[in-house]
Amino acid sequence: MKTGTIFLILFFQTTIFAQNWMPVNPDYTYFYKNETDELISNTVKTDSTSFSSGNPVYYLNPVVSFCDTCDPYIQVCFNGAMNFYFNRFSPNFLQKEVHQLSNGKYWFTNTANFVLLPNSTINQTWIYDTINNITALVTELDFSDVFNGVADSTKIITLSNGKEIILSKNFGIIKFQEPDKEFLLVGVNTGSAVFGVTPPTFWDYFDFNIGDVFQHNGSAGNGSYPPPNWDIYTLKIRITSREQTENSVKFGRHIIKHWVYFGGTYVYNDTVFFQNSPDNFVNQLPNNLFNMCEYDTWSSGLCAMTSTNIFSTLFFQPFGFSDELTTISNFRDYGYSNLVGTCVENENLLGSLDCEIYGIHFTEGLGQTSYSLTGFEYYDNWNIQGYVKNGDTTGIITPDEILLGLDEKFSNQLLQIFPNPVNQNLFFSFSTDHPTSATIQIFDLQGRLVKTISENETIFAGGEKTWDLKNQYGNLVQPGVYFCRFTLGEDSGTQKIIVSQ
């Protein structure tokens, strides 16, 4: 997350004083978190403006809301992966329309109606909500920190239902309480200055340098026949070059993709290009829809999308390797259930076998850190396991020699490993006809040492060793794929071992 460090005195120099105490400035983008979130969860900004009876009207951005009991034929989409409807036109907590009235009042309206008098003075009262008969009273004026190192005049408005709203003279609504939620302002982008905590930018996500390494673990499959039609894989990417312009960056990459069971290992080089454009996924804002379907593409409550139409809810969350890193994501709540989809033209969103469901995470300094694609009888999912940045390793990085399985110098006549796959006892049989120094070690897919069978041990003709995977180690050796790395005299090599159930 980005933290603004510009002090308020600079803000005053570029702000029109007539806008002071505006609860929502149409030129600003506001970032809030609610009481249950650690990071930014809501964006409030003005999508468009108009005039009503000569007074300006600000139309605020809509958000997605879950809709398990709503009318499925009104402004909703069905998510087959999560088995419920959601509404793409829900208002945010400050509603959809803000009417700036000539008498100094601000009327917020859509699913709820309430009025703020931002220029009110201490002990002044008014009707805040006529439908629910809620009154408002200015109970306190103060001058205090709004953001870290940025102070401003504030006023507390206490409502007759026990809730309160806090206004800042130059930053608008900094606290807003609903019956079951509390929203706190954590950052503001005025267009010319940034205050508080705001989402990362394009350059924060794609901050790669030559030598950086990223390793992902994935699985893929399809419904083809005959088998095998699925496999797991390790994808290791090393940055080999970087070319940057004012609005784009291109990286050269060296890639090792190792299929564990059936597919072999592929080594290749490519380039990737990232454009810092407004519609780039990483430039989207939390809980703010983008690239939505046009109104006339909706039919029977389901979204008829073309392959170029994408819509999403986004949110920020801590990243698994570090609390200091954050992720922008369209994954929602659990697993890969998400609200992003593409469909062929005139097909129903997530309700057709021709649709693809996918989800993604992007993380500061790491780029894309997960991917999930599901279609009819096929899937491909991966997540980051580890990375090397500026020479420091975090998470799991598998040595290249393990992924590549370099065993061309080894003679199988010297060592036999059987059975493979193995369930319990793995045998190592040496056929050397003279004493030979042997080092034999077992590693998992992440490059971690599991067991040393022998280390610089002298092996005589006809020697054998046994590895009891269960009894000796209390069932600690889990089913999966392992690698045996060995040196026998002048020979060395790597052999894959499959531990079965």
Helix segments in 295-369, DSSP class H: none
Residue 391 has pLDDT above 50, yes or no: yes
Between residues 380 and 9, which one has the greater pLDDT? 380
Q: Return d(Cα 299, Cα 292) in angstroms, integer.
A: 14
pLDDT in tens, 324-342: 455 554 443 333 333 344 3
Inter-residue contact 431 to 414 (CB < 8 Å): yes
The 10s digit of each residue's pLDDT in 14-51 is: 443 345 899 999 999 999 988 777 677 789 999 899 99
Nearest to 311 by CA among 283, 333, 342: 342
Identify which has the larger pLDDT, 176 or 178: 176
Q: Is residue 392 over pLDDT 50?
A: yes
Is 485 strand, coil or helix? Answer: strand
Beta bridge partner(s), residue 143: 153
Q: Which amino acid is at 295?
A: Y
Q: Are the beta carbons of 189 and 198 closer than 8 angstroms?
A: yes
- Residue 347's pLDDT is 40
Residue 38's contacts (CB-CB under 8 Å, 6 or more residues apart) are: 318
Nearest CA among 381, 317, 303 for reference residue 345 = 303
Question: Is 456 or 325 the better-scoring residue by pLDDT?
Answer: 456
The confidence score (pLDDT) of residue 12 equals 45
Alpha helix segments (H runs only) across 96-243: 202-205
Partners of residue 100 on adjacent β-strands: 106
Q: Where are the alpha helices (DSSP H) in 209-264?
A: none
Q: Which of 61-65, 254-258, 329-333 has the lowest mean pLDDT?
A: 329-333
Sketch out the chain's domains with CATH numbers: 2-198 (no CATH), 203-395 (2.40.360), 402-499 (2.60.40.3080)
For residues 388 and 213, is the Cβ–Cβ distance under 8 A? yes
Tokens describing residue 119: 């220029």
Question: Is the pLDDT score of 250 beyond 60?
Answer: yes
pLDDT greater at residue 175 or residue 383: 175
**pLDDT, tens digit, for every residue of 270-297?**
999 999 988 777 787 777 665 444 333 3
Q: Higher pLDDT residue, 169 or 355?
A: 169
Whether the bond into 62 is cis, omega within 30 of 0: no
CA-CA distances (angstroms) from residue 451 to 215, 221, 481? 23, 31, 14
Q: How far apart are CA 329 and CA 313, in angstroms?
A: 8
Q: What percent of the chain has pLDDT over 90?
A: 32
Tell me: pLDDT of 238 over 70: yes
How far apart are the C-alpha atoms of 287 and 41, rounded to whole Å? 7
pLDDT at residue 208, rounded to an integer: 93
Task: Give 96-136 pLDDT, tens digit per residue.
Answer: 999 999 889 999 999 899 999 999 999 999 999 999 999 99
Confidence of residue 376 (pLDDT cuts 50, 70, 90): low
Measured CA to CA, the distance from residue 41 to residue 31 in angstroms comes to: 8
- Tally Cβ neighbours within 10 Å of residue 385: 23
What pLDDT score was predicted for residue 339?
Answer: 39
> Per-residue pLDDT tens for 404-441?
865 444 555 678 888 888 888 889 888 777 788 888 88
pLDDT of residue 87: 60
Cis peptide bond prior to 228, omega within 30° of 0: yes
What's the predicted TM-score (pTM) here?
A: 0.68
- pLDDT for 475 equals 54
Structure tokens at 329: 């994501």
> In the structure, what pLDDT confidence band is assigned to residue 491 with cuts at 50, 70 and 90?
confident
Q: What is the pLDDT of residue 20?
A: 83
Among the listed ranges 59-63, 82-86, 281-285, which one has the minimum average pLDDT value?
82-86
Please report, in angstroms and rounded to a whole number, the separation of the first and last CA atoms in the chain: 44
Which token pair is 312? Answer: 């999403």
Distance separating alpha carbons of residues 428 and 497, to the nearest angstrom: 12
Backbone phi and psi for residue 180, each to the nearest 5 degrees, phi listed first: -125, 5
Highest mean pLDDT: which range of 70-74, 264-268, 477-481: 264-268
Per-residue tokens: 136:
């408002």
Which pLDDT band, with edges at 50, 70 and 90, does 175 fall under? Answer: very high
Mean pLDDT estimate for the chain: 76
Least confident of 222-231, 361-370, 460-469: 222-231
165 closest CA partner among 129, 131, 196:
129
